[in-house]
Amino acid sequence: MEHPQQLLHHWFLQQRKSGIELLRRLVQEASTQGNEATAQALIIEKCRQLQLELDIWEPNYDELKHHPYFVASRSDFANSPNVVAVWKGTGGGRSLILNSHIDVVPEGDPNQWKAEPYSGIVKDGKVYGRGASDMKGGTVSLLLAIEAIQSLGIRLKGDVIFQSVIEEESGGTGTLAAILRGYRADGAIIPEPTNMKIFLKQQGSLWFRLTVQGKSAHGGTRYEGVSALEKAWVVFESVRQLEAERNTRIHDPLYQNIPIPIPINIGTVNGGTWPSSVPDCVILEGRMGIAPNETVEHAKQEMEETICSLNERDKWFRAHPVQLEWFGAQWLPSSIDDTHPLMNAMMDVYRRVKGEDPIIEASPWGTDGGLLTQVGAIPTIVFGPGTTAVAHYPNEYIEIDRMFDVAEMIALLILDWCEIAQAGRRKL
């Protein structure tokens, strides 16, 4: 038998058309929150073709609601199934979770798209459409990797656990539900759009809301009131100072190309009721980054102490304190040691396929890797073919060559990590 890498490479060259078609079909299903079922049906169909052991269920809100890391914007997950498909090994090898999410963010203004947002059009070596980069291209890479190994007739010692989960874009309900259902492994790969960089660390994040009170007055005598907008600027400056202080502590070389490793972003500002009135209330909502080795609780504490100190220092705020709330989504931070065997294996297969060293960085955004690492105690790497330069943007796309490169790397990683129990006899 030829070396598995040569056979795998040849197989991927032969299967480009079918792999592209699978991605196109997935992109054409608008799997926004609450509408994941039809895209999952395609995943289920493919997993059945691969004869994987399927587990399909809708997460149960009552079973999840008391977990400290459960966050969701809804309590009913009907028509939003999780899919886990297991390729059982013969035993004695390490197991690997291949985790992907089926949900996509909304397409936004369709007028900003050159083609229909869910077209799945193929042009200039790319597949276009919402979710192509984040992260249906990565999902197809995982499925192709499994199919390629099976096509060679190879049996593995360790289990391969493929996951297509819901709710990653809004806090991770699907992955949390899979962990609590008992799915664990010796390692995990998440093919988020990293531009084929290997992320061994990722920041987490929290959403917060700050309510700033003022005193209303007629605009013609605004000096008799207290503008909540002006006081909100004081709050904004305090938050910006906290951001600066937190980032002075980050000395990790993996962040050397990231200007602000753990930002605090104010995303919405709402207030006032009338152009001729002094605004008496302004609400700021934002996102707070969490360092890879920091706890959620520590990040919250620092924000709470900042707001408490501001309330004590400012005369107006002493009588009308700024209110801080934590709401909405959160993503746990994650890290894996750079000498971990999974990291070594990932870097090795990258070199074998690309003939060069991979770029190792820390992720500027969160993924379900935080849940896998902190709740599941599963060493996790984030590595995928898409790029955040186009994810969530109009005219999102993925480069087809990169999707197949990652598929080949994941296939080789599976062989190395899970170990070959029985060499195949098939020739392509």
The residues that are catalytic are: 103, 168
C-alpha 123: how far from chain center:
26
Burial of residue 277 (CB within 10 Å: 0-12, 13-18, 19+) is middle
Give the Cα separation of 143 and 19 in Å (integer): 9
Give the Cα separation of 145 and 143 in Å (integer): 5
What is the identity of the amino acid at 172? Answer: G
**Helix (H), strand (E) at residue 342:** helix 341-354
Rg of the chain in Å (alpha carbons): 24
Q: What is the residue whose two structure tokens read 């806090």?
A: 171
Q: What is the dihedral of CA 373, 378, 379, 381, to 10 degrees?
A: -70
Give the Cα separation of 384 and 312 in Å (integer): 47
Residues 230, 232, 235, 237: is their CA dihedral positive or negative? negative
Is-contact 189 96, C-beta < 8 A?
A: yes
